[in-house]
Amino acid sequence: MQAGQMAYDRAITVFSPDGRLFQVEYARVAVTRGTTTIGITFKDGVVLIADKRLNSRLIDPDSVEKICEIDEHIGVTCSGLVADARIIIDYARVQSQINKVTYDEPILVSALAKKVCDYKQQYTQYGGVRPFGIALLIAGVDNDGPKLYETDPSGALFGYMATSIGAGKEAVMEMLEEEWKEGMKKEDAIALGLKALQKANEEPLNSISVEMGVIQKGKKFQKYSTKDVEKLIKKVLGAQVKGD
């Protein structure tokens, strides 16, 4: 790093001469070092798939949660600093319930995504704080149909038909660009997600380290059990996987 950049590197509230906030950029780097997560919309819903990256056989798989329910119609997955994600997820759950109590209706997926991004953006404006080193994929189904949003550490918001965050993003996005189709079935979206995740991993996928959730129109958010994930991996990839 050049000596002239040091002042801008250490202060979240100061732009560098070329218009950069270095601490926000470093937060984005934390996301790229996180586990690979994928979101794919299909005809009437969204599927979320996450790699838990268990580095030791001594880790209890149930203690690592990468996909969480926000409301009956919304789920999220994350990549980056998991501790930061817990704060954002708790905030999203509170905002969802506030909307339900205030307006007597479920919050729109887009409205929740904007609230989360507004909250994250506040942590890029004040001294004494740091940006959240986490990116979220917020997926849900409301009156506007299936929705999938990516939230950036800067507070930026992007809507996608299919996307990925984390270490394997580049490999996953290449496959999604080629194979995602509008109006695809749930089974096809799951198959595409598993194939893309396998492409981004050096080791064969197994049901212990892969987490999956689906939000579908007219149904509540569902997280798949380890046995269900095992069956899907075997069906899609023909792999020998480790179950319970």
Annotated active-site residue 102? The verdict is: no
Name 148's bridge partners.
139
Annotated catalytic residue within 35, 36, 41, 226: 35
Q: Name, in order, each residue with C-beta under 8 angstroms of 244's C-beta and a sequence gap of 6 or more.
A: 226, 227
| 3-class secondary-structure state, position 77 | strand
Q: Which structure tokens are listed for 105?
A: 């209706």
Amino acid making up residue 198: Q
The closest of 80, 77, 48 to 166, measured between CA atoms, is: 80
CA distances from 212 to 45, 102, 128, 175 (A): 14, 31, 37, 19
Active site residues: 35
